[in-house]
Structure 1
Amino acid sequence: MFNPRPQMRYVAIPGHAPCVVVDDFLRDPHALVAQAVAAQAQFAVDPANYYPGPELDLGRDTSLRLDEFFIQHVRRALGAQRTVSVAARLALATLQPAELHPLQRLCHRDCAELAPGVGAAAAVVYLFDDARLGGTGFYRPTQGPEHTARVLRDAHAGRVSPGHADGYLSASNADFELLCAIPARFNRAIFYDGEIFHAAQIAAPALLHPDPARGRLTMNGFFRFRKRSA
């Protein structure tokens, strides 16, 4: 399923582990796009995770194969010792700016309630040709942790903080500074530390489309792991 001889590139993110970039990630990416098109009716919105569109779980077999790639090629760069859990799903961003919940207008982390010694990582595989649909940006809070927590709580409660954009976050704002952005490219995968604030760089939301063959289709992976001893 995945390229057995991947070429790895590491993009520095100040204060964090690097983002691991792998081009030509899937052996047959068009087959996965076709699978998404055939299963379009099975995509569903999960309100619990605030993803701005419907998703489709890819099942245990795909998750385990993604974990094999993570273990073999990525885990050391992200400080992982062994995987505790893994999930993989297809995702299709579809919401227009006026439809976004305030929390969807901010960056986020994939590391809620991690136990001591446990880390988180995530993967995104871009399955669309038009790079204008957006890659992924990485951010750091510009204020202290208490202020940042308050901003996130307010957004969760539906309140918009001053200085925040009306749509998708794609640049620095009053509370978060953009550190770097990875452009989208068809069949490019990125792996990164889930403790980094990040957001899809959707600067042209008018291009979003509910058809998986035309829209911002991605394969997303989520890992929990035991951290490697220092």
Structure 2
Amino acid sequence: MFNPAPRIQTLQVDHRPVCHVVDDALLEPERWVEFAAAHAAAFEGGDHNAYPGVELRLPEAFTAQLDAWFGQHLRGAFDARRTLERYSRLSLVTLPPPALAPRQWICHVDRLNTQPGQCIVACVLYLFRDASLGGTGFYRPRHPPERIARLVQDSSSMDADAFAAQHRWPPGYMTAGNEWFEKILSVPARFNRLIFYSGGIFHAADILAPERLSADPRQGRLTLNGFFTCRRNLA
């Protein structure tokens, strides 16, 4: 299923790796698009995260294959030696900008339960050919952690008008830096491109043309997302 001889490009900012990019990641990526189309009715929205669309949880058997490939080719790049927890899903961004809640306006980190000595690694596989649907942007905070934490908390607890006014944050998808975050990297979307990055880096989908979003897996911004909680190497 996965390319056994991947070509991995590491993208750095200030001489530090931010994202690892694998093109031609799957041997038959079209099969995933058809799988998603065949199961379109099973995609669901949820309140467990801020994803602005619908998702389909994938079986553990597939997640194990993804984790095995990750372990063979890229887990060491994150100074990790073992996967402790994992899950994967198919995802479709579907919400128009007026329907977004404040917590969907801002970039985010992946909030999975971790303990000292553990880290989170995430991946996104782009399964759409229309590059205008957007890749992924990475961001660096411009303020101390406690102020950023307050912003994130307020994005979940305040209504849209109050949040926009208090934090001077415009509604809609985040695609550029602002007074809160500096955009440090943008990875363009490409069909069958797989990216891996630390879940602790602020990131957001680059939804530059929200009018092109669709709930049809053959037309919309279909991605395959994986998340791994890993144990770091011993110091």
1:199, 1:206 → 2: CA distance?
A: 18
CA distance in 1, matches of 2:80, 2:187: 22
Query: Are 1:165 and 1:173, in contact at CA under 8 Å, matched by a contact in 2?
Result: no
How far is the alpha carbon of 1:14 from its aligned partner? 4.2
Contact kept, 8 Å, 1:143 with 1:175, in 2: the verdict is yes
Instruction: State the TM-score, normalized to the length of structure 2.
Output: 0.94
* Corresponding residue for residue 53 of structure 1: 53
Q: Secondary structure at the match of 2:77?
A: coil
* 1:200 maps onto 2:190 in alignment: no
Q: Which residue of 1 aligns with 2:100?
A: 100
Counterpart in the other structure of 1:172 = 177
SS, match of residue 18 in structure 1: strand
TM-score by length of 1: 0.96
Tell me the residue number matched to 1:70. 70
Q: State the match for 2:168 in structure 1.
A: 163
Paired residue type of 2:192: N
- Residue pair 1:163, 1:173 contacting (<8 A) in 2 also: no
Residue 98 of structure 1, CA deviation: 0.3
Shift, 1:79, TM fit: 1.4
8 Å contact kept, 1:14–1:179: no
Q: Tell me by how many angstroms 1:18 deviates.
A: 3.1
Decide whether the 8 Å contact of 1:137 with 1:181 is kept in 2.
Answer: yes
Displacement of 1:113:
4.2
Shift of 1:162: 3.1
User: In the TM superposition, what is the alpha-carbon distance from 1:50 to its structure 2 partner?
Assistant: 1.2
Indicate conservation of the 8 Å contact 1:124/1:190, yes or no: yes
SS in 2 for 1:54: strand
1:111 Cα deviation (Å)?
3.7
**Structure 1 pair 130–120 and aligned structure 2 pair: CA distance change class (3 A):** same
- Runs of 5+ consecutive residues of structure 1 not aligned to the other structure: none
CA distance in 2, matches of 1:57, 1:113: 19
The equivalent of 1:85 in structure 2 is: 85
Show the counterpart of 2:228.
223
Q: Which moved more, 1:146-155 or 1:11-20?
A: 11-20
Separation in 2, partners of 1:177, 1:163: 15
